[in-house]
């Protein structure tokens, strides 16, 4: 069996829905869909740029817990509820990933769990 470590953010939804914030399997780290909720509140309401920056910070925090860093991200999946504002999301992504250049998908979706959420990002890293 492979080495597997699960990381929790401590939110109640992890137990209710049955997921981990991130899972490290050997040299890979898989990070669940991440939104801009901080301390139970959405950061950057109606601001996809700020939501994206907040999400990247949260992704970086869990990577650090797993002995990794943003530079080891190889894949991003980005979901936005207002595709017409993709450039704001793209600018925030570029500020962190311009040199890293992971494989990336940016997709417009009709909704996320909370109507105030405009962006959700999944990430994968390889150590």
Superfamily of domain 34-121 in CATH is RutC-like (3.30.1330.40)
Is the pTM value of this prediction over 0.85? Answer: yes
The tens digit of pLDDT for each residue in 10-29 reads 988 899 999 999 999 999 99
**Residue 1 in this model has a pLDDT that exceeds 60:** no
Check: CB of residue 124 under 8 Å from CB of residue 33: no
- The per-residue pLDDT for range 48-95, each reduced to its tens digit, is 999 999 999 999 999 999 999 999 999 999 999 999 999 999 999 999
Given the structure tokens 């940016």, which residue do they identify?
106
User: pLDDT tier at 2 (50, 70, 90 boundaries)?
Assistant: confident
Question: According to the 3-state scheme, what is the secondary structure of the chain?
Answer: CCCEEEECCCCHHHHHHHCCCEEEECCEEEEEEECCEECCEECCCCCHHHHHHHHHHHHHHHHHHCCCCHHHEEEEEEEECCHHHHHHHHHHHHHHHCCCCCEEEEEECCCCCCCCCCEEEEEEEEC
Domain boundaries, the chain: 34-121
pLDDT (tens digit per residue) in 96-125 = 999 999 999 999 999 999 999 999 999 999
């Amino acid at each position: 069996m492979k080495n597997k470590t699960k990381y929790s953010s401590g939110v109640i939804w992890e137990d209710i829905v049955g997921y981990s914030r991130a899972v490290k399997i050997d040299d890979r780290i898989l990070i669940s869909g991440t939104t801009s909720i901080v301390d139970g509140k959405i950061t950057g309401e109606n601001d996809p740029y700020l939501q994206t920056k907040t999400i990247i910070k949260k992704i970086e925090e869990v990577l650090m817990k797993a002995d990794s860093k943003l530079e080891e991200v190889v894949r991003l999946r980005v979901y936005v509820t207002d595709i017409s504002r993709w450039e704001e999301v793209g600018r925030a992504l570029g500020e962190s990933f311009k040199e890293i250049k992971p494989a990336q998908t940016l997709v417009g979706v009709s909704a996320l769990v909370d109507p105030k959420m405009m962006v959700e990002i999944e990430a994968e890293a390889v150590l």
